[in-house]
Amino acid sequence: MSLKERITDDMKAAMRAKDSERLGTIRLLTARGGRTHRAR
C-alpha cells in the first residue's frame, strides 16, 4: 500500500468517525503534498 493510499484510507476513516481534528490534519497534509508534488 502506497503512502497516498494509506492517507486516503485514513481520511475516509476520519470522515466515518466524524473526527474533525484528524480529518483537518490529513487534509492539510494532502494539500501541502499536492503543492510540493506539482512544483517538481
Predicted pLDDT of residue 34: 63
In the chain (40 residues long), the average pLDDT of successive 10-residue segments reads: 91 96 93 63
Predicted pLDDT of residue 37: 54
Q: Which residue has the cell 492517507?
A: 7
Question: Which residue range(s) make up the domain with 35?
Answer: 3-39
Predicted pLDDT of residue 32: 80
For residues 39 and 12, what is the distance between their CA atoms, to the nearest angstrom?
27
Q: Name the residue among 36, 28, 30 with its Cα closest to residue 6.
A: 30
Instruction: Give the count of beta carbons closer than 10 Å to the beta carbon of residue 5.
Output: 9
- Amino acid, res. 32: R
Predicted pLDDT of residue 1: 83
Q: How many domains does the chain have?
A: 1
